[in-house]
Amino acid sequence: MHSARPNFFSGAYVDRRTELREQADWLASALADPHTQFLLARGTGLLLHGAPQPRIAFVSGRHPAVAAAEPDRFMLLGWFRQRRCVLLALAPEWQDVDLPEGTAFEELRPLSPQLDAEEAGLLAYARALSVWRARQRFCGVCGGPTEPARAGHSLVCADPQCAEEYFPRLDPAIIVLVTDGERALLGRQSTWPPGRYSTIAGFVEPGESLEDAVRREVMEETGVQVLCARYDSSQPWPFPASLMVGFQALGAPAPVRVGGELEDARWFSREALRGGEIHLPPPHSISRRLIDAWLGAHP
């Protein structure tokens, strides 16, 4: 690995205190602590201050939304900047009343490049939990309703004869920069902004290792054979529930045969990437990290 620097949305931004999730009175302790900060979510929106720069709009336990919420709406995130932090996923029918001045429920993805890195990590964590909770309201075994346990980090079927337990899901995906030593292999999807190219990525399938997924995805998307691959780093990507596992790979210097979800894929020289011939992925993405690492290793 070329650097210990964490990717955006990751790092030691929160002390999760997982042992506290087993305490039955965790919520009472949080509500009794005047220093507890509550992060509000509604759907996929998170409560943020807008100006002069987006930041989390924490509220205290005295806020009307906190006081009125049902216990099953709260999830313990951990300790953020030495203060207990609890996520409150508001009911869909909850209305925008008494919100702090200058705040609104905002989507994380478009605002993430403007956020402080630690706050972005906490928001990504909160978004992933709240989306999972909203999508796992019923048991996949018997169809009965689920109820939260472990401070909101698991859901259990309410039917005691079933009692199936569910944990937050993650969809592992590989993302890889393939080079032939002198050129980098990048592709683009039709939905991306004009001129944007990025690294090759795709979801890992059942019964497949990460390395197998790298070889398969690159072959499917570009027709290029991966000769060897090494792990670089990973990045949580909560849109809605991915874990991007990044690789650097050496590919056979073969002509590109576009397939899969790509509309185009090409080999690019270092000069083309440095010279702005194409638009690279945004700086906070793991794809950009992979590209920058390759460019930095070859002045």
pLDDT at res. 196: 97
Q: Indicate the average pLDDT of the chain.
A: 94
Full DSSP string of 187-198: EE-TTSPTTB-B
CA-wise closest residue to 75 among 164, 169, 149, 171: 149
What pTM does this model have? 0.91
Average pLDDT for 75-86 = 98
Cα separation, 66 vs 38, in Å, equals: 8
User: Alpha helix locations (H) across the chain?
Assistant: 26-32, 64-68, 108-111, 117-135, 210-222, 270-274, 286-297
State phi, psi for 294 to the nearest 5 degrees.
-70, -45
Q: How confident is the model at residue 100 (pLDDT cuts 50, 70, 90)?
A: confident
State phi, psi for 55 to the nearest 5 degrees.
-155, 160
Is 18-135 a CATH 3.90.79 domain?
A: yes
Given its phi and psi angles, is residue 74 left (phi above 0), alpha (psi -120 to 50 degrees) or beta?
beta
Distance in angstroms between the alpha carbons of the first and the last residue of the chain: 18
**Confidence check: pLDDT of 95 > 60:** yes
Task: Enumerate the CATH 3.90.79.10 domain ranges in the chain, comma separated.
Answer: 171-293
**Per-residue pLDDT tens over the stretch 216-241:** 999 999 999 999 999 999 999 999 89
Rg for the chain, CA atoms, rounded: 22
**Confidence check: pLDDT of 93 > 90:** no
**Confidence check: pLDDT of 99 > 90:** no
Q: How confident is the model at residue 2 (pLDDT cuts 50, 70, 90)?
A: very low
Cα 161 from chain centre: 35
Q: Give percent of the chain with pLDDT exceeding 90.
A: 89
Q: How confident is the model at residue 299 (pLDDT cuts 50, 70, 90)?
A: low
| Rounded to 5°, angle at Cα 185 from 181 and 190 | 170
CA-wise closest residue to 230 among 210, 205, 256, 252: 210
pLDDT at res. 1: 41
Cα separation, 141 vs 122, in Å, equals: 32
What are the b/e assignments for 159-171, b being 16+ CB within 10 Å?
Answer: eeeeeeebebeee
pLDDT at res. 5: 76
Cα 278 from chain centre: 26
Cα separation, 109 vs 112, in Å, equals: 5
**Per-residue pLDDT tens over the stretch 172-217:** 999 999 999 999 999 999 999 999 999 999 999 999 999 999 999 9
Q: What number does CATH give the domain 171-293?
A: 3.90.79.10
Say which DSSP state 44 is in: T
Tokens 């039955």 belong to: 24
Strands (E), 66-182: 74-80, 83-89, 103-106, 146-149, 154-157, 165-166, 171-179
pLDDT at res. 98: 79
